């Protein structure tokens, strides 16, 4: 909760840059799942993860939940990077399409989230997940509710 307490006191881009640079610790979920925020810019967030067998499902591949969570993080943070101080977001939905199986042998995977439409009430983002060779493993679309924490409205 220490990191979360700073989330609306800075612009989204400044907040995420501080996490990337080690000024704030990453979200507990990112630590749990081994995600690292490696790049952030206005409308862009890139996470990396090197899944191991601890993320496997019973059929011997990385569980889709890890990939979905990675996509949710990249999409949400891409949207967050466009928000002013005092404005927050939460995911409304996410749709993930899995294109190839991911295993520990896939190595480092990268989720690149891009804001496709910032909005005052709803913002939209896309994510591409690829391996180190650039092979597309999954892609996702997401929408996020934008909430102005400076007032009781949900407009930014």
Domain boundaries, the chain: 4-148
CB 77 within 8 A of CB 40: yes
Query: What's the whole-number mean pLDDT along residues 52-77?
Result: 96
Asked: is 4-148 a CATH 3.10.129.10 domain? The reply is yes
Query: What's the whole-number mean pLDDT along residues 37-52?
Result: 97
CB 125 within 8 A of CB 114: yes
- pTM of the predicted protein model: 0.91
CA dihedral 85, 91, 96, 101 (to 10 degrees): 70
Write down the pLDDT at residue 2: 57
Write down the pLDDT at residue 154: 47
Query: What's the whole-number mean pLDDT along residues 55-69?
Result: 96
């Amino acid at each position: 909760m220490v990191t979360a307490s700073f989330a609306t006191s800075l612009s989204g881009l400044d907040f995420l840059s501080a996490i990337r640079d080690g000024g704030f610790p990453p979200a507990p979920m990112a630590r749990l799942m081994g995600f690292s925020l490696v790049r952030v810019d206005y409308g862009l967030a890139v996470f990396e993860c090197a899944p191991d067998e601890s993320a496997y499902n019973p059929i011997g591949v990385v569980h889709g939940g890890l990939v979905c969570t990675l996509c949710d993080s990249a999409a949400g943070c891409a949207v967050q990077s466009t928000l002013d101080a005092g404005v927050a977001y939460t995911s409304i939905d996410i749709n993930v399409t899995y294109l190839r199986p991911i295993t520990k042998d896939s190595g480092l995977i990268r989720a690149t989230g891009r804001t496709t439409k910032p909005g005052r009430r709803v913002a939209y983002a896309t994510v591409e997940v690829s391996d180190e060779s650039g092979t597309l493993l999954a892609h996702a679309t997401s929408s996020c509710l934008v909430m102005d924490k400076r007032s009781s409205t949900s407009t930014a």
